[in-house]
Amino acid sequence: MSGLTLIERLADKQLIEQMSAGEKGLAALQVTGIGMGITFAVLILLWALITIMAKVVGSAEEKKKSISTSK
């Protein structure tokens, strides 16, 4: 059983009961870190997509303005 990682041991109720409080705390920190990492990665991806979309929309609006002022 020692070959399993802490997170893998969380998947089995019997193994959780055999874990010490320190192991449970460390596993909880690992799960928290993974969750926060995924959350920040998605937020950075959304920020990048919004920035790209703003540039595309801004350039399209400038083209419309330049076309309407040249007429």
Q: Provide the number of structural domains found in the chain.
A: 1
Q: Which residues contact 12 (CB under 8 A, 6 or more apart)?
A: none
Identify whether 49 is part of a domain. yes
Closest CA to 10 of 30, 35, 39: 30
- What global pTM score does this model have? 0.69
Does 44 score more than 80 pLDDT?
A: yes
**29 domain residue, yes or no:** yes
Domain that holds residue 12: 6-70
- Per the domain annotation, does 1 fall within a domain? no
Q: Answer whether residue 16 is part of any domain.
A: yes
14-30 pLDDT, tens per residue? 999 999 999 999 999 99
Residue 50 covered by a domain: yes
Instruction: Say if 34 falls within a structural domain.
Output: yes
Report the distance separating Cα 63 and Cα 56, nearest Å.
11
Residue 41 lies in a domain: yes
26 within a domain of the structure (yes/no): yes
Contact in structure between 6 and 32 (CB atoms under 8 Å):
no
Q: In this structure, what token pair is assigned to residue 67?
A: 């076309």
Res. 45: pLDDT tops 60: yes
